């Protein structure tokens, strides 16, 4: 399948330990494509609702630890709540949410 990349991404997402977060580049690297961070983001973008319920998409954030979701269907507020419910501290800024990567980034 050519969509093997997406599947690989999803599989990796499910491997992220609870209470940890990962960056797009990190997932892309694990998926054997260190420069495919954007594709990783897209993989999450096309997730159907049932998929989103079983995949920890909320644990994926950008390199700065900021929730960079621009999609109205994927509220930053929801992501914040999901992360907090897992024990991840999400800090609030005026225009965005962010996580302390040094403390919560998934080390592998």
Partner DNA sequence: CTTATGACTTTCA
Partner DNA sequence: CTGAAAGCCATAA
Which residues sit at the interface with DNA, rule CB under 7 A? 2-6, 23-25, 33, 35-42, 44-47, 52, 57-58, 60, 62-64, 68-71, 74, 79
C-alpha–C-alpha distance, residues 37 and 43, integer Å:
10
Q: How far is the CB of 19 from DNA (least distance, A)?
A: 18
Give the number of other CB atoms < 10 A from CB of residue 85: 10
Spell out the residues 6+ positions from residue 3 whose beta carbon is closer than 8 angstroms to its own: none
Instruction: Output 41 or 87, the one with its CB closest to DNA.
Output: 41
Q: How far is the CB of 93 from DNA (least distance, A)?
A: 14
Q: Which of 104, 94, 21 is nearest to 58 (CA)?
A: 21
Instruction: Output 18 or 38, the one with its CB closest to DNA.
Output: 38
């Amino acid at each position: 399948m050519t969509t093997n990349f997406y599947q690989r991404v999803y599989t990796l997402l499910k491997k992220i330990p609870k209470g940890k977060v990962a960056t797009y580049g990190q997932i892309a690297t694990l998926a054997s494509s260190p420069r495919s961070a954007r594709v990783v983001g897209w993989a999450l973008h096309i997730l159907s609702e049932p998929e989103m319920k079983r995949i920890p998409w909320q644990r994926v954030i950008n390199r700065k630890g900021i929730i960079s979701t621009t999609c109205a269907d994927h509220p930053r507020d929801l992501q914040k709540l999901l992360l907090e419910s897992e024990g991840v501290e999400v800090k609030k800024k005026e225009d965005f949410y962010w996580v302390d990567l040094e403390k919560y980034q998934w080390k592998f």
